[in-house]
Amino acid sequence: MLQVDARGLSCPLPLLKAKQALNGLGSGEQVEVLATDPGSQRDFRTFAELSGHSLLKDAEENGCFVYVLQKA
């Protein structure tokens, strides 16, 4: 699984980095994104709904938001 470290970046940069990573993946592959911006929760949920990609994980762990997206 590809990991993207977007900690310390403000929205929309964590989501943009996730999109770039997804572009390089094949269908069914996953990317894990680490972010610290609380606004990223809304962004990732909305992006998953609109894009058709699956948001497999949406959690907060020790002040870090962890997302796992699976490419459609």
Q: Name the H helices within the chain.
A: 13-23, 40-51
In the chain, how many domains are there?
1
In this structure, what CATH number is given to the domain that contains residue 32? 3.30.110.40
User: Which amino acid makes up residue 14?
Assistant: P
Distance CA 42, CA 11 (A): 10
- For residue 5, give the 3-state DSSP assignment: strand
- What single DSSP character describes residue 36? -
Active-site amino acid positions: 11
Distance CA 12, CA 30 (A): 20
- Say what the pTM is: 0.95
pLDDT in tens, the chain (72 residues): 999 999 999 999 999 999 999 999 999 999 999 999 999 999 999 999 999 999 999 999 999 999 999 999
Structural domain that includes position 10: 2-70
pLDDT for residue 68:
98
